Amino acid sequence: MPKLMAFRAGIRPLVAASLVALICACGAPPAEETPVQVDGAVAAIVNGDRIYVSDVELEAVARGLVSPGQKIGPGNADYDAVLGQLIEETLMAQEAIRRGLDKDPTSQRRLARARDRILGNLLVESVVAAEVTETDIEAMYKAQVSLQQDDDQVLVAHILVPTEEEAQELFERIREGENFDSLVASHSQDSATRMEKGSLGYVSPNDEPEPFPVVIANTGVGEVSPPFQSADGWHILKVKDRRSKPPQTREEMRPEIVTFLTFEQMAKLIRRLKAEAKVLRGEPALDESSTTPYRLPDSDAEAPPEEASDPRPPGTEL
C-alpha cells in the first residue's frame, strides 16, 4: 500500500494534472461527512432572488470558517460576513445579467466550465463519503505509526484488570486525581509488574502486540490512555518517557490521510473514465493568421502519410 510519507515527499506528480486541479479547487476533503441540510430558511432576498441560510452555511464551510454541520446564524461574525459577500455577489450577478453579459458565447462557455468545476467538486465529495472509510483511515494511520516509531524507545507502565467496567472505573479515578502508581499496587492483575509500579520498561512500540503501538502513539509523555483490550485483559497505559519525538496522533494526521486516500480513489476513477471516454484534442491551425487558432481533427479522415510536406511556414521550426 502506498505510504503517506511518500505522498508528502511528492506523490502529486504521479497524479493527473486534472485531478490535482480538481482537488485543489474544492479544497481539502472534510474530516467528517456532515452535510449541511438545504432548507427553506431565507437569509436574504436581493431584488427578488433568495439567499438561503444553508447557502451561507455551505459557503462558510467551504472557506474553512466553520466545521461541517456547525450551525451559525445572524449575529455570528462569520455568518454576517459571508452573507454580506453573498449579497454583493448576487447584486453583481444581477447587474451582469442586466447588461446581457451572460448572452455572450465566451461568457456562456465560462459559465459551463464553472458548472463543470462544481460538479467535479461534488464528485470528489461523493467519493470521499463512499470510498474513504474509517477502516481505510485507521489502516493507513497504523502503517504510518509503524514507520514513525521504528527507532522509538518508550518507557511505559500499565494496570491490567479483567473487565472493561473495572478498567473504566480506575481510569475515571485517575482522571479525578488519584495516583496511578497506587492504583497499580492495589488493582493490577499483572503480578510481574505490580510491585514495579506497573513498569514494562523501555519498549520499542512496533515490537509490542496490537493495539499497543497505536495506543502508545496517541498517549503523550505523562499521560494515561483510556482503557483498551488485549489478549491478556483490559489495560490502562501510562507513558512515562520517550527517547525520540512522538508520532502524530490519529486526529493530527487524519486530514493528510483523507487527502491522500482521496487522491488515490480519484486517480483510479479518472483512469477508468479516460479509458472509457472518446476524447478529441484540438490541434494548431495550419493558417496562423486564422481567427480560429485550434480545430478538432476529423475523426473519420485517414491520417496523412508520413512523407507529407511540413505545412509550417519557413522559420517556425522548433
- Return the closest-CA partner of residue 49 out of 86, 99, 2: 86
In a domain, 213, yes or no: yes
In a domain, 53, yes or no: yes
Can you give the residue range of the structural domain that contains 203?
Answer: 150-242
- What angle do helix axes 180-187 and 164-175 make, rounded to 10 degrees? 150
Where is the domain boundary, 242, 261, 295?
242
Residue 223 shares a structural domain with residue 161 = yes
Question: Global pTM?
Answer: 0.43
Going residue by residue through the chain, which has 318 residues, state the pLDDT in tens, using 9 for 90 and above: 444 444 444 433 333 444 444 454 444 444 444 444 445 688 899 999 999 988 888 888 878 787 766 778 888 888 999 999 999 999 999 999 999 999 989 999 999 999 998 888 888 878 777 878 888 888 888 887 776 666 678 999 999 999 999 999 999 999 999 999 999 999 999 999 998 999 999 998 888 888 998 899 889 899 999 999 999 999 999 999 988 766 778 888 888 888 888 888 888 888 888 888 887 777 654 444 455 555 555 545 444 444 444 444 444 333
Where is the domain boundary, 84, 99, 114?
99
Residue 83 CA to chain centroid, in angstroms? 26
User: Locate cell 456547525: which residue?
Assistant: 70
Q: Are 259 and 28 in contact (CB under 8 A)?
A: yes
The C-alpha atoms of residue 6 and residue 14 are separated, in whole angstroms, by: 11
Where is the domain boundary, 183, 213, 242?
242
- Return the closest-CA partner of residue 32 out of 65, 71, 70: 70
